[in-house]
Structure formats: structure tokens, C-alpha cells
Structure 1
Amino acid sequence: MDIRNKVIWITGASSGIGEALAYKLNELGAKLILSSRNRESLYVVKSKCKINQLDIHILPLDLENTDSLKEVTASAIKIFNRVDLIIHSGGVSQRSLALETDLNVAQRIMNINFWGTVALTQSILPFMLSNNTGHIVVISSLVGKFGTKFRSAYSASKHALHGYFDSLRTEIDPKIKISIICPGFIKTNVTINALTADGTKQNSMDDAQANGMPAELCALEIIKAIQAEKEEVYVGGKEKYAVLLKRFLPGLFSKIVRKAKVT
């Protein structure tokens, strides 16, 4: 896929992987629609883009407010009269033990990460199908392939994305591509903003995150996967090999992850 002049809608574009993707895709000549809840931060991201800012539009949205997403989608399509590719990068993480996590917090994580993504997809997909072309990119996580400590609801939301989009891929015209991206430890503010047991933010960065792959390198790997139309890609350091360990040596994987200090 040639990125130049493609209309790409990025959710979660105000920070982290979404922000890094915005900069790289702008450099490649894409026309961008940037979305998140934080309008002011989106304008900061836009101001940092180096190429034609007339091809960058700000469209705030709240993934938790699923009832609003059809209207937001209609607004997105009107900007350039099309959306060639949507990157679902919006979401929230978790750092709390399962039994200590308030059920409302777990439900909120599912609502943002899973239901918001599903609702937005169901709003944009009919347009893509009518044009017989399109690409849906879902930013999942390695914990969408296995579970670890302190991430029960987050991992569940990412597992759910895999089930939904793997199934959706079998139901739609193969001209509509679906790519699921599974980052590992990427140096972003995701752990700072992660929800704790009572729903408050953690407000600190995990050591593994601080030492993780820079977001800009992660963005480059994601763009390569998009261009190659890969169905599923793992991005990160040695932690990505845990997917293979879980698949081929599940008993050993279980022992290791139980004993591991996961941060």
C-alpha cells in the first residue's frame, strides 16, 4: 500500500503510539484525521507535524460514548469525502489485581478498548464496503495473546478485539483489509495513565515501559505492517517471543509468568 495521499483516521492520536504514527504518516504524505478526547493535545500534535498542515484535521471523540460514534464517523467522512484507513489506537491500560479491581473500572476498560472500537468499526465499515476498499488497523497488545499480572481487564479487552476482528475478517470482502498489531513494551505514557483498582490513574511509568522500544520505532514497524497488509504483527523487544513460548510450551510459560515480576 502506498501511504501518500491516503486518508488515514487515527484514534488515540494525542499521545503514545497514535501520536508517533501521526508524525510518521504525515512525513509519508498521508492526509490525516486525528481523534482523541483531548482537543488541545490534538492541536499540539498537529502543530508538530512537518508537512502540509492543511491535510491534517482534528476530530475529537470519546470511545466510551458509543452512541456518538455514528455522527463522528459521518463527520470524518465529510472532511475528505472518504476514509481509506482507520487506525484504532485509542484505549486505556490497567495496573491492579483482578480481585481488587472495582467492577465499574473493569467495565470502563472494556467499554473504551473493545466496545468503542467495535462501534466505530461498525460505523465506518459500511462506507468502506460501498467503495469496495479500505483497511482497518487495530492496535492490540501482546497481552491480547496471553495474560499477565495486574492487567486482567485490559488483557480481556485486547483478547476480545482479536476474537472480534479475526471473525470479522472472515465475513467481509477480502478487499477490506484488517491488521491486528500487538505491541509489547513501548516507551509511552500508557502506564502513567493506566487505571488502578479504584479507577484513579497510576501516575508513574513502569520500568519495563521506560526501557521499552521508542514510540517512533514502533510506529515505523506498524507502518511496514500496514504497507505489507499483514494480518497480525508483534512489535517490541524480546517480550514478543512470549507469544511463541505460550503457544508451544504453555506449561513452562505459565510457570515463568507466575514467578515474574511484571511491571
Structure 2
Amino acid sequence: MSFLNTVIWITGASSGIGKALAIEFSQQNVKLIVSSRKKADLELVKNACKFPSNVEILVLDLEDHTSLQGKTAEAMALFGGVDILINNGGISQRSFALDTDIAVDKRMMDVNYIGTVALTKAVLPYFIEKKRGHFVITTSIVGKIGTPLRSSYAASKHALHGFFDSLRAEVHKDHIHVTLVCPGFVSTNISFNALTGDGSPQQKIDAATQNGIDPARFAKLMVKAIQNKKEEVYIGGFKERLAVVVKRFFPKVLSKMIRKLSVT
């Protein structure tokens, strides 16, 4: 499958995985719509792409659910439609459940889950009308396996799997594809911006995240999964991918392993 002239809309495109995806896709001469809350950072992403003239910026806030219908109409007008929506925007969390204010749990769901679902529902009628389309969702290995200090984050990512597995079955007849991409540790600033128990950012990068996969390499693997229309794919180190298998076949063994993880 060639992506030539495909219109791809990426949320969370101002940094990390989203930025790397935009740069990788731009090598294939696609039409790109890049979105996040940060216009200045999106400008930098656009200029880093191979064909900046094929990149449009659309500022949006996933937490502002009521704005997403209008933003979708704007996106559709930029290139005359959208072929692939990559739901990549989101935030993370680092705090014990006991120490996490319920407002943090709510914000995690509002951004990661409700925001993603609201944008998807806004795009869905366009895909159904033309009888084709592709939803791609960046979830997490933590969307399959809950780990310490990430209870709210894990819950929001688990919720995405439930919604999009159901949606995949519902829209199969309309030739619409759904790909769930589960990253392990990727060397981005996600942990720096992760919310702590009181809602303030952590402002430090976890060692595991810092030592994770390079975003450019991750993007190449994710693009390949999208190209092959995979239903679900795990991209990370050997231990992270192994954990998914252990969880499936030996859940008690994985529980013991998870309890031994460092929480410092």
C-alpha cells in the first residue's frame, strides 16, 4: 500500500511520537494535518517535514470535547477529506492511587479517553459516508498491563481498547479499519509532563523512558503497522512485549513480576 496523496490527521503532533510520525509520513508525500494545543511547536514540526507545503496546522484541545465537531469540519475542509485519523494525543500520570486526587483521574479520562472518543465520533460519519477510513490509536503496553504509579493512565488506556475493539466490529461492513498501537518505553518527554497526585507535572524524565526506543525508529515501525492494517501491535523492548504474553498465559506470574518493579 502506498500512502501517496493520503490525507492523514495526527493529534498530539507537537512532540514525541506524534512529531516523529509526521516527519516519517512526510517522506511519503502525504497530505498531513498536525494538531495539538501548541501552535508554535506545530510550526516547528511542519518545517521539519520533507514537504512543508503539504502540511496544515489545526490547533485543538482534546479536553474541550464540545469543540471537536467544529474542528473536524475544519480538518475535512483543508484537503477535501481525511483518510486516516491517528489519535495520538494524550497525557500520562505518575503517582500512587492513594495519593492521586480524583480530579487527576477525571482529567486523564477526559483527555485520553473522552477526547479521543469524541474526535473519533466526529470523524466517523465522514468515513461511513465514503465507505472507507482508518482509525489509528496510540494506547500503551500499560493499556494491557497495569503497573505501579500509573493507575489513572492505565485505566484511560484500557478504556480505549474496549471502545475501539467494539467499534472495529461495528464498522467492518463499512470498510473502516481500526489499529491499536501499544508503545512500550519510547524516549519522549511524556514522563516529564506526566501529572502527579495533585495534578502538577512531574518535571523529570523516568530512566526507563529516557532509555526507551528512539521516536524515529518507533515511527517507522508504527507506520509499517498502519500500512499493513494491523488490528493491534506492541512496539517496545523485549521485556515489555514479553509481559503481554506472560499476562495472557501466566497472569499470576506477571502479578509477582509487577509487584517487584521499582517505584522510585
TM-score where L is the length of structure 1: 0.98
Residue 124 (structure 1) aligns with:
123
Which amino acid letter does the alignment assign opposite residue 112 of structure 1? V
Residue 150 (structure 1) aligns with:
149
Contact 1:93 1:109 in 2 (8 A): yes
Distance (Å, rounded) in 2 between the aligned partners of 1:261 and 1:101: 19
Which amino acid letter does the alignment assign opposite residue 64 of structure 1? E
Residue 61 (structure 1) aligns with:
60
Which amino acid letter does the alignment assign opposite residue 68 of structure 1? S
Distance (Å, rounded) in 1 between the aligned partners of 2:170 and 2:263: 37
Which amino acid letter does the alignment assign opposite residue 103 of structure 1? I
Distance (Å, rounded) in 2 between the aligned partners of 1:194 and 1:177: 30
Distance (Å, rounded) in 2 between the aligned partners of 1:165 and 1:109: 18
Extract unaligned runs of 5+ from structure 2: none
Where do residues 101-112 of structure 1 align in structure 2 (5 Å cutoff)? 101-112=100-111
Does the residue aligned with 1:57 lie in a helix, a strand or coil? strand
Equivalenced residue count is: 262
Distance (Å, rounded) in 2 between the aligned partners of 1:260 and 1:115: 30
Residue 181 (structure 2) aligns with:
181
Where do residues 130-209 of structure 1 align in structure 2 (5 Å cutoff)? 130-174=129-173, 175-209=175-209
Distance (Å, rounded) in 1 between the aligned partners of 2:241 and 2:92: 18
- Alpha-carbon distance, 1:99 to partner: 1.0
- Alpha-carbon distance, 1:173 to partner: 3.2
CA offsets 1:230-254 (integer angstroms, 9 cap, x no match): 0000001121210001111111100
Distance (Å, rounded) in 1 between the aligned partners of 2:172 and 2:228: 18
Does the residue aligned with 1:62 lie in a helix, a strand or coil? coil
- Alpha-carbon distance, 1:4 to partner: 1.3
Distance (Å, rounded) in 2 between the aligned partners of 1:262 and 1:56: 41
Residue 70 (structure 1) aligns with:
69
TM-score where L is the length of structure 2: 0.98
Residue 253 (structure 2) aligns with:
252
Distance (Å, rounded) in 1 between the aligned partners of 2:170 and 2:50: 39
Structure 1 runs (4+) greater than 6 angstroms displaced: none
Distance (Å, rounded) in 2 between the aligned partners of 1:172 and 1:197: 38
Distance (Å, rounded) in 2 between the aligned partners of 1:173 and 1:225: 18
- Alpha-carbon distance, 1:106 to partner: 0.9
Distance (Å, rounded) in 2 between the aligned partners of 1:69 and 1:99: 33
Residue 43 (structure 1) aligns with:
43
Does the residue aligned with 2:32 lie in a helix, a strand or coil? strand
Contact 1:148 1:262 in 2 (8 A): no
Distance (Å, rounded) in 2 between the aligned partners of 1:237 and 1:28: 27
Residue 22 (structure 1) aligns with:
22
Residue 94 (structure 1) aligns with:
93
Distance (Å, rounded) in 2 between the aligned partners of 1:54 and 1:195: 36
- Alpha-carbon distance, 1:2 to partner: 1.6
Does the residue aligned with 1:87 lie in a helix, a strand or coil? strand
- Alpha-carbon distance, 1:50 to partner: 2.0
Distance (Å, rounded) in 2 between the aligned partners of 1:262 and 1:54: 45
- Alpha-carbon distance, 1:81 to partner: 0.8
Contact 1:129 1:173 in 2 (8 A): no
Counting aligned pairs with the same residue, the percent is 51
Does the residue aligned with 2:172 lie in a helix, a strand or coil? coil
Extract unaligned runs of 5+ from structure 1: none
CA offsets 1:147-175 (integer angstroms, 9 cap, x no match): 00000000000000000000011111341
Residue 217 (structure 2) aligns with:
217
Distance (Å, rounded) in 2 between the aligned partners of 1:176 and 1:74: 19
- Alpha-carbon distance, 1:262 to partner: 4.6
